[in-house]
């Protein structure tokens, strides 16, 4: 175990797996090993309540409480909860789920298109550019992170089963939503990023550090393909229900 120091604080890294505030839930009934952790607004809770989901816990924050449910799906007991926006907030909750027993996790959420991709297209991120902060607390500094191959396979299998076309993509994970400048967008596109979002690299780093499987499903919402003519489009709202269904299917395919 070692603390690796750097002049730039975000590049400092501690290899110690233990922290002052521990996520492990000793002595409590563990959550299901399979989990869907979804950035899908109220669709998650609507599904949990309509399917007779059991309230397992409530993840409390200073701004909002996040119910955590257990649902029966495809003959398996699955942990299901809404994910908070942004890498730091999402990783805090993901680490909590892992500490309570989740080991095979599928996440789903929206992304912005950096190239000419129509709205409501499904994509599978295989690499994420680490332009955020949370991932650097879990893994040593690097430009990109590769997503877990088992997670990728599970998401792709669910998409194929549903007859949905998809592409693998490299995504730009940023925590500066209002700092996506014209030149930066062009730069990220030039280095191979086709979409942008705010959590993928953070979640992937936490999962790798904790030695669990994480796969991610993205659907296109707004577009920055023409950086001089930003378009919100419909924010991908038409994809919410299908994205949740695909995530539930995908988590069953994690082997």
Regarding predicted confidence, which is higher, 88 or 24?
A: 88
Chain segment 136-184, per-residue pLDDT in tens: 999 999 999 999 999 999 999 999 999 999 999 999 999 999 999 999 9
Q: Which value, in Å, is the radius of gyration of the alpha carbons in the chain?
A: 18
Cα of 81 vs its chain's centroid, Å: 12
- List all residues 6 or more positions away from 141 whose beta carbon is below 8 Å from its beta carbon: 11, 13, 130
- Taking alpha carbons only, the member of 175, 13, 12 closest to residue 88 is 175
What is the rounded average pLDDT for all residues in the chain? 96
DSSP conformational letter for 157: H
Q: Report residue 29 as tokens.
A: 């009934």
Place of tokens 């994910």: 83
* DSSP conformation letters of 192-238: TEEEEESSHHHHHHHHHHHT-EEEEEEEEEEE-SSTTS-B-TTTTGG
The confidence score (pLDDT) of residue 22 equals 86
Going by pLDDT thresholds of 50, 70 and 90, the confidence category of residue 215 is very high
Q: Is the pLDDT of residue 33 over 90?
A: yes
Residue 130 β-bridge partners: 173
Strands 65-73 and 76-82, by their bridges, are antiparallel
- Taking alpha carbons only, the member of 188, 185, 180, 197 closest to residue 125 is 197
Q: Is the dihedral of CA 225, 133, 152, 52 positive or negative?
A: negative
- Taking alpha carbons only, the member of 217, 250, 253 closest to residue 236 is 217
3-state DSSP assignment of residue 12: coil
Chain segment 58-108, per-residue pLDDT in tens: 999 999 999 999 999 999 999 999 999 999 999 999 999 999 999 999 999
Chain segment 103-114, per-residue pLDDT in tens: 999 999 999 999
Q: How far apart are CA 55 and CA 165, in angstroms?
A: 34
CA-CA distances (angstroms) from residue 129 to 145, 167, 202?
A: 7, 17, 10
For residue 253, how many other CB atoms are within 10 A of its CB?
Answer: 20
Q: How far apart are CA 81 and CA 64, in angstroms?
A: 13
CA-CA distances (angstroms) from residue 91 to 21, 51, 202, 224, 225?
A: 14, 27, 6, 26, 28
Mean pLDDT in residue range 129-136 = 98
DSSP conformational letter for 147: P
- Taking alpha carbons only, the member of 187, 197, 188 closest to residue 221 is 197
pTM given for the model? 0.96
The confidence score (pLDDT) of residue 24 equals 81
Contact 107, 37 (CB under 8 A): yes
The confidence score (pLDDT) of residue 27 equals 75
Residue 104 β-bridge partners: 34, 213
Choice among 10-19, 89-98, 168-177, 240-249 with the minimum mean pLDDT: 10-19
Q: Is the pLDDT of residue 236 over 90?
A: yes
Place of tokens 């120091």: 5
Regarding predicted confidence, which is higher, 2 or 132?
A: 132
For the chain, give the percent of residues with pLDDT over 70.
Answer: 100
Going by pLDDT thresholds of 50, 70 and 90, the confidence category of residue 28 is confident
């Amino acid at each position: 175990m070692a603390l690796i120091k750097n002049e730039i604080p975000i590049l400092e890294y501690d290899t110690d797996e233990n922290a002052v505030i521990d996520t492990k839930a000793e002595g409590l009934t563990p959550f299901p090993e399979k989990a869907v952790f979804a950035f899908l607004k109220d669709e998650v809770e609507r599904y949990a309540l309509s399917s007779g989901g059991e309230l397992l816990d409530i993840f409390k924050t200073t701004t909002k409480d996040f119910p955590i449910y257990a649902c029966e799906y495809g003959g398996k007991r699955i942990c299901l909860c809404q994910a908070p926006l942004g890498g730091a907030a999402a990783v805090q909750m993901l680490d909590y789920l892992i500490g309570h027993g989740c080991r095979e996790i599928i996440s789903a959420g929206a992304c912005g298109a950096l190239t000419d991709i129509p709205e409501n297209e499904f994509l599978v991120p295989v690499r994420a550019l680490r332009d955020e902060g949370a991932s650097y607390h879990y893994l040593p500094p690097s430009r990109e992170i590769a997503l877990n191959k088992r997670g990728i396979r599970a998401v792709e299998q669910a998409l194929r089963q549903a007859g949905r076309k998809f592409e693998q993509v490299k995504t730009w994970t940023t925590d500066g939503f209002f700092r996506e400048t014209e030149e930066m967008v062009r730069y990220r596109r030039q280095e191979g990023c086709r979409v942008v979002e705010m959590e993928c690299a953070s979640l992937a780093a936490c999962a790798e550090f904790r030695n669990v499987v994480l796969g991610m499903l993205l659907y296109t919402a707004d577009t920055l393909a023409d950086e001089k003519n930003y378009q919100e489009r419909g924010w991908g709202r038409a994809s919410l229900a299908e994205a949740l269904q695909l995530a539930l299917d995908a988590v069953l395919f994690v082997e």
